[in-house]
Structures are given as C-alpha cells and as structure tokens.
Structure 1
Amino acid sequence: MTSATSPPRPPMSVRIGQRVIQLPTLAGLLIAWVLLFGELSVNTVVSGLLVGLLVMLVFPLPPLDSGFRIHPRATLFFLVRFVVDMAQATVRVLATAFSFGRIPHSSVIAVPLRTQSDLLFTLTAVCVSVIPGSVIVEVRSATHTLFVHVLGAGAEDVEQARADVLRLEERVVRAFGSRGEIERLASTGGTS
C-alpha cells in the first residue's frame, strides 16, 4: 500500500524502505556477476543477488523502461526473414568476390530511420552490420540516421539498398517495439 506522497511503484519491482528495486535490473546484474565468475553455483548466485541489491540500494536508478517488447509472430517473421537475408547477401558477396575482371561497385547511403527508440535504432544498426556486404560507417543518433556502405550497389541500386534497410527496421520495430513505436512506424509510411 502506497501513501499519497510516494510515487507509484514501476512494474516488476519491489520497494525496500524508500528505494525501489527493479527486478529486471537486478536480474541483469546477477547475470553479469555469474558470467564474471564463470560458474553457476549457489554461492555465486547468492553473492550476486546480495551485491546487486547493495549496488541498487547505494546507487539508485530512476525507473527504466527500455521500450523492448517481444511480439511472438512478428519476432518469428523477423528471425526467418533475417536468416533469408543473410543467405541471400552471402551469395551476392560470393558472386561479387568471384566475378574476376569486373570492378565491384559500392555506395555509402544515408538512411534516416523512423524509430525514435535508441534501443530499436541500435538493434537495427547491429542487424544491418551483421548482414554480409553492408557495413555501418557512421551513426548519427541525434537524427537516427545510419550511413551504410553497401557492396555491389551502384548508383542505380541505391534506392533499393535504402528500401532494404527500411524494411529491416520495420521488421525490428514490429518484432520488438512498443505499441507507440509500431503506431509511429505505420503513420510514417511503414507497411502493414
């Protein structure tokens, strides 16, 4: 029961005195602790919980909401399509590498993303850079713009490469974004 002066407790948290302990943050600290020690034992878990609680009590954080949600069907579609994109890109890179006597074209393109979430922006950038033949050369987080070097993309292929990045962003947002991010995507031209 909270008093009229205390702020509401964020979801998945417990109150210890005046401090709010966010359980996902505590779980993250515990996982980091276990990974640092390299063994999963009762002593490691208990000491990790105690150290995590101590850190959160001594250095309180404001309530965090990452905006990260998992939408099962969209996540499955994202994963399947990501594997297909990886396979297709691998074949294109191999074809470019073994096309002797032909100079491969490449372009650096600017792609302003539609998401306003730093987490989804970062996830999209990671996915783009993992796909063979594309490398992030610059990121402007203030404008949520990716500058991508695309192998095999001449002047005529630039718009197709930009559209590919935007489709990847859309799949990321639909798989992991909040309802607000999905609605923002739809209002700025994302497909349904």
Structure 2
Amino acid sequence: MNHKTLAMTLAALALPGVANAHVGLHTDGALAGISHPFGGLDHVLAMVAVGFWAASLGGRARWIVPLTFVAVMGLGGVLGILGTQLPMVETGIALTVAVLGLLVAFEVKVPTSAAVGIVGLCALFHGHAHGSELPSMASAGGYVFGFMAATIVLHLIGIGLASLRFGSAGRFAGRAAGAAVALAGAALMAG
C-alpha cells in the first residue's frame, strides 16, 4: 500500500467521527461504543501502540496480535457490563500504556504466542473499563461492537504509522514515540 492510499484510508476512517458530533446520539450503543475509546488518551495510546508493535513484530503477528487484543477486550467489556470485579483496573490500564510504550521504544521482539499473551492481558483491563462505563440507555451489544470497531481503527492507525518508518531517522522517531507513550503511562500511574 502506498503512502497516498494509506493517508486517504486513515482520513476516510476518521470522517464518521465528525458526523457523530450531535447531542443525543450516544443513546445508541454502537455510536457510544465507537466514541468511547477516543475519549481517553490512555486507550488511544495503548491501542495505537498495539498496532505499531504488532507491525514491528511482522509476519503473522501483524494481524494476530491486534485481533487478539480486540477479542479479549470484547470479553473484558462483557465482564465489565455484567459487573464482574477486576482488581485495580485503572492502575492496570496505566501499566499497560507504559508496558506497550516500552515494547515499541525498545523494539522488543518476542514469539507471536508471547505477544498474544501480553496484549491479551492488556486488553482485559481496557475492555473491562469500557464495559463498566456502558451508558445507561445504550444497547450493550451495540456498545461492545462499537468499541471493538473503534479499536480496530486505532490498531490500523498504529500499523500504518509503523509502516512510515524509513531509515534510521524513521526508526528513531518510532522508538521516541514509544518512549513518549511509556512516559504517559508512568504519568497515569502517578496519578
């Protein structure tokens, strides 16, 4: 995929968010779910980092890792909706942001199975937080579908950003971005 096509695809994916800027639309579960991940910097950073790291791992991990995140996040969302308790959710989310940033910053290479385990654990916390914040008038099924779809978009953005790294300058920029995400995670943990 060339850079022009990638940029146009990312722009097209962002357009539905503009159409959602109307009062009252968040009673629809899908729209509430789509907008929810974009409402917190912690979620945006973690989900883009998952896509970036998966692309850096390459091979099958490029798609298996993000899809695992989405699937486990959906499970975590259902657990949150059902009121199942998960200890230290907010701390867990902040920690996942820091860890994912470090994985990107240090270009950590692990087997796909290990990457799946890491992002699965991260996804459980993010999904639980999404699910426990289900708007009162929203359809639970639509809401889960919405935040899963938004997460896929954020993963694709991360994959796209990783594909823009060219040469040593691009590699340095990717590592610096990972370090910035890790610092943001540390700041979130500090409160």
Say which one has the larger Rg: 1
Relative contact order: is structure 1 or structure 2 higher (C-alpha 8 Å, sep ≥ 6)? 2
Larger proportion of strand: 1
Could you state the TM-score of these two structures normalised by the residue count of structure 2? Answer: 0.29
Larger proportion of helix: 2
Could you state the TM-score of these two structures normalised by the residue count of structure 1? Answer: 0.29
